[in-house]
Structure 1
Amino acid sequence: MLYKFTCSKLVLICFAFLFIAPLSHSQTKKIKRPKSRVGISSVDNFVRESFDLYDKVYMYDGYAAAGTPLDDDDIDVLEEALEDLAVLSESAPDILSDVKGQSVLKQGKATLQINRAKKALKYSIKTAKELLLGERKRKEEEEKDDTDNSTKDSDNNSDSSENSSSDTDDSEVEDNKNISDDLEILSKYDFVPGDKLLFFDDFSKDFVGDFPSKWNTNGSGEIVNIKGENWFELKSGYGLFFVPDIENLPEDFTIEFDLLTSGLDNKTSSTARFHVYLSDNLKFNTGLEHYTDVSLPFGQFGAFNIRVANYFNRGGGDIKAALKSDIRNDILNQPHISISVTKKRYRLWVNQTKYVDIPRFIEVPNVLNHIKFHINNFKDGEERVFIKNLKVAEGGVDLRRKLLAEGKISTNGILFDSGSSNIQVQSYGIIRQISQVLQQDTTIQLKIIGHTDADGTDENNIKLSKSRAEAVKQALIKVYNIDSSRLISDGKGESEPVGDNSTPEGKAQNRRVEFIAQ
């Protein structure tokens, strides 16, 4: 996070601390950061991050004590700090559960430090809110809050009993499961990508080391090659935005992309987050009058919440919430993110799990025309975040009605592994809708036709398109129990393009599956 220090502020702060503070006690006595570590990584990280945020808020409280007004940059820093404080406070119960099973001495030391960190968080949240509202008041009782005394046995005993009675941490990462073992769960995945492609970027046309040609930023980022594929590496920082060249989003649209991380571990900050903004402008800010923000947690030492907030008509929004989630294992294993906006409704999936479904998140229609990405609180050069295959499409249309009304549909939303007929799991929302049509009208027979782009030979593409159509047919039979006699499959390779095979967007349009009712 970037801080703004001016000479005048430094002079005033020094003057305040040397002369004013001892006389008027205008700033609360500082809580001292513990000098030693406990040796439990989650506890040590929680204490360190709590006091990092506390020091930041305490510094701005010093400005107020000296009578120095906050400028716009100061307010921005405080607002972000307040959000980080809320995230960290939510993790406290999970951190307490990590103390269980440790030695008596280690439990005692951990409890003392957690108590001190919680006291620092309590001060920080209260003070940050008052500073932002211009209502900071220092009361005499705050002067009594000297936590240098490692304090109050009653508090410690209370928290210790909390430890002994709290439930076992149910946020532990579950063992990985093969997707094929959960076909019943998979069959309920209901994301349906839009059917009219607006933007696609797999960075295949960009050079390694360059900033991608179809994006803009006020910071930095570059294309890197990982195992033969180009990925866009985002840079962490306060106020940095990455903006794809997308304008005039429709009322109904979908967003999909893949994420990749490197260097995350149990020391990764609880405030390390990946933000997706829908915004009313292309400038390097969240938005002027209207925006939404959904952020994914990347911290690994606890299960941190997905956070959602909206802001409309300059007056704020009705929604600011933290959604219980544990996506730590997903974040480490190249997750696919899917977002669907249907008029006012906003939904978000991480892989096949839907975490966000808010019916009236978009309070004002047709004003959020742009997409922006932002990451912060990652260690520079150590903790890295990459994005690939950003796809934005109009629609998210109900394919069931279209198939019944028109007798055929074509979609590029059924995705396969490169050069393979292996269906990617995020495609099952579409296949599920097709199955519902067949279940509703048992007289329908369906022809499934695969199409490819022009990469590779004609012979290989014909073979690939047929095997992909057959894979979709088998999914309808095995996952959704459709009678095989009602389905036939075929493939036409690259012979019927609908887009320009010289561009990533055109290739994405040509890789499609067609369904024709017989």
Structure 2
Amino acid sequence: MKKLILISALLLAGSNLMAQGFLKKLKQKAEEAASKTIDNVIEGKAKKNTEASTTVQPAAKTESSPGTTNAAVTSTTAYDFVPGTKVLLSDNFAQDALGQFPLKWYTRSKGEIVTLNTAKGNWLRVYPGTFVSPVVNIGENSTIEFDLIMNWPKAGGYMVPAIGFALYDRGNKGEILSYDYRLKNCLKFTIAPYRSEAAVQLTSFENVAKKLESDKYKVANFENKVGSVIHVAISIQKERVRIWLDQEKVFDLPQAAPLNGNLNQFKIDMSASNYTNEQLGYYVSNFRFAEGSSDKRSKLLTTGSMETSGILFATNSAEVQSDNEGVIKEVAAAMSENPDLKIKIIGHTDAVGKQEANLILSAKRAESVRDALVKTYKINTDRIETEGKGSTTPITNDTSEEGKTMNRRVEFIKI
């Protein structure tokens, strides 16, 4: 019996030892497998990182610059719209009753004045059709601004309607709405949303014939503007047309507007849609038509000189108080676009006061304009010379206030 008990004990102990050995081996194999897996992952990551590094930054092999790498290219721009100072027409529909069509405008369709929970003031809600502004005589240099809200279901399945804005000639109390109207001169652009972007295109007519049809400019991420105020700004300088949407320049066309077009009426066209009126809403407001300035940038580059009385200084001071015509900005743009361009700035005063004092004052004013170009627009000071001529070279002998204003000027000369 004792032998039997001893044998059983030995067998049990052996089984435990074997089980422990087996478990130990399993544990060792598991640890080896885990270690191998981790090593493979690390090696894989290292290999992937090495490949990525090789792909992104390969060794440059160029004859001109051996051993260098290609750098990322970046660019900068600026919002250079300058609104005109002399207002020709302004309309925010404040005088119009809610629910009514504005008295000064014309339509063959339906429109009504509304208020919105997301924007201040009164807004004209437009529906599919045509809407025409009061008559406003647009000169060869003008600026047009207004606000636009376009709202539709982002999850909707229909095509979003396009909206067009145009300037026509021969407008007279809604004549453009007549089916007998014959197009002569026109400048129009259309915003056509599609999926997440919007296509913007401009077309112009001069003496009945089509003058220009632009390429389509794609505004990315346009869905982010749904339901928000979009500020539209237009600058016309003879033939040159520039258009911005929320400070994004969509067009800068040097030969787009009809010459001597006598444009005098603004028109809005909204296309049809499968959306219901409850699902869709297009609104406009805050119109401002103003007399603009000529294309001074082009004049400086083509003729070699230009001058302005639009830079205003404090009385008997060289401090720049305002630049109503945006001349300094235009000159800065010309110099930024043409790195080899160098200029001389010449200050002029009227004949009031002593000639010696006027010479000093005019020189300081020229320096102030130079400093604005250098500090605000980062133009290298080595590209700018300055001079003051006081009242020695007047452009008129008129001693009236108007004549004095003409003589108080700043001249830019290409050197």
TM-score (norm 1): 0.41
Q: In structure 2, what is the equivalent of residue 135 of structure 1? A: none
Q: Distance in 2 between matches of 1:249 and 1:384?
A: 29
**Alpha-carbon spacing, 1:311–1:398, altered in 2? closer, same or farther (3 Å):** closer
Over residues 88-115 of structure 1, what are the superposed CA-to-partner deviations in whole Å (9 max), with x where a residue is unaligned? Answer: xxxxxxxxxxxxxxxxxxxxxxxxxxxx
Which residue identity lines up with residue 272 of structure 2 in the other structure? N
What residue number does 1:99 align with? none
AA matched with 1:284: L
Spell out the pairing of 1:67-466 with structure 2 (5 A cutoff): 185=76, 187=78, 189-227=79-117, 229-237=120-128, 240-267=129-156, 269-270=158-159, 272-280=161-169, 281=171, 282=174, 283-284=176-177, 288-290=182-184, 291-299=186-194, 301-314=195-208, 316-327=209-220, 328-329=222-223, 331-332=225-226, 333-378=228-273, 379=275, 380-397=277-294, 405-406=308-309, 408-409=311-312, 432-433=329-330
What is the DSSP-based 3-state SS (H/G/I as helix, E as strand, rest coil) of the residue aligned with 1:325?
strand
Paired residue type of 1:406: S
Is the CA contact (8 Å cut-off) linking 1:274 and 1:296 kept in structure 2? Answer: yes
Aligned residue type for 2:210: G
Q: Number of aligned residue pairs: give it.
A: 255
Q: Is the 8 A contact 1:223 1:231 kept in 2?
A: yes
Separation in 2, partners of 1:432, 1:265:
39
Please say if residues 270 and 302 of structure 1, whose CA atoms lie closer than 8 Å, have aligned partners that are also in contact: no
- In 2, are the aligned partners of 1:349 and 1:355 still within 8 Å (CA)? yes
Mapped partners of 1:428, 1:216: distance in 2 = 33
Aligned-residue offset at 1:303: 3.1
Partner of 2:50: none
Return the alpha-carbon distance in structure 2 between the equivalents of residues 246 and 303 of structure 1. 33
- Residue-by-residue CA offset, 1:54-85 (whole Å, 9 max, x unaligned): xxxxxxxxxxxxxxxxxxxxxxxxxxxxxxxx
- % same residue: 25
Alignment check: 8 A CA contact 1:208 1:230 kept: no
- The offset of 1:440, in angstroms, is 6.5
- Counterpart pick for 1:480 among 374, 377, 383: 377
Task: Give 1:381 deviation, angstroms.
Answer: 2.6
Cα pair distance change 1:407/1:267, threshold 3 Å:
closer
The answer to whether the 8 A contact 1:344-1:365 is kept is no
Give the structure with higher Rg (CA).
2
Note if contact 1:337-1:348 (Cα within 8 Å) is conserved in structure 2: yes
Return the alpha-carbon distance in structure 2 between the equivalents of residues 285 and 185 of structure 1. 46
- Aligned alpha-carbon RMSD (Å): 4.2
The answer on whether the counterparts of 1:274 and 1:298 sit within 8 Å (CA) in structure 2 is no
For residues 451-502 of structure 1, what are the alpha-carbon distances to aligned partners after superposition, in whole Å with 9 as ceiling and x for unaligned? xxxxxxxxxxxxxxxxxxxxxxxx99985369xxxxxxxxxxxxxxxxxxxx
Cα separation, 1, equivalents of 2:334 and 2:206: 39
TM-score if structure 2 supplies the norm length? 0.51
Q: Distance in 2 between matches of 1:207 and 1:476?
A: 48
Alpha-carbon distance in structure 2 between the residues aligned to 1:319 and 1:226 = 37
CA distance in 2, matches of 1:186, 1:231: 34
Q: In the TM superposition, what is the alpha-carbon distance from 1:197 to its structure 2 partner?
A: 0.8
Residues 317-326 or 376-385, more deviating: 317-326
For 1:373 and 1:396, the matched residues in 2 are separated by 25
**3-state SS, counterpart of residue 203 of structure 1:** coil
Q: What SS is found at the alignment partner of 2:329?
A: helix
- What's the CA shift for 1:437? 11
Residues 397 and 363 of structure 1, relative CA distance in 2, 3 Å threshold: closer
Distance 2:327 2:104 in 1: 29
1:394 to partner: Cα distance: 1.3
Q: Deviations over 1:179-223 (max 9, x none)?
A: xxxxx8453x22222222101112223222222233222222112
Task: Please tell me the residue identity of whatever aligns with 2:125.
Answer: L
Deviation at 1:256, TM superposition (A): 0.7
The answer to whether the 8 A contact 2:92-2:287 is kept is yes
Cα 1:233–1:190 change in 2 (3 A) is same
Unaligned stretches of 5+ in structure 2?
1-74, 314-323, 336-341, 348-371, 380-408, 411-415
Structure 2 CA distance for aligned equivalents of residues 198 and 443 of structure 1: 32
Q: Residue 310 of structure 1 aligns to which amino acid in structure 2?
A: S
Aligned-partner Cα distance in 2 for 1:480–1:364: 33
Higher helix share: 1
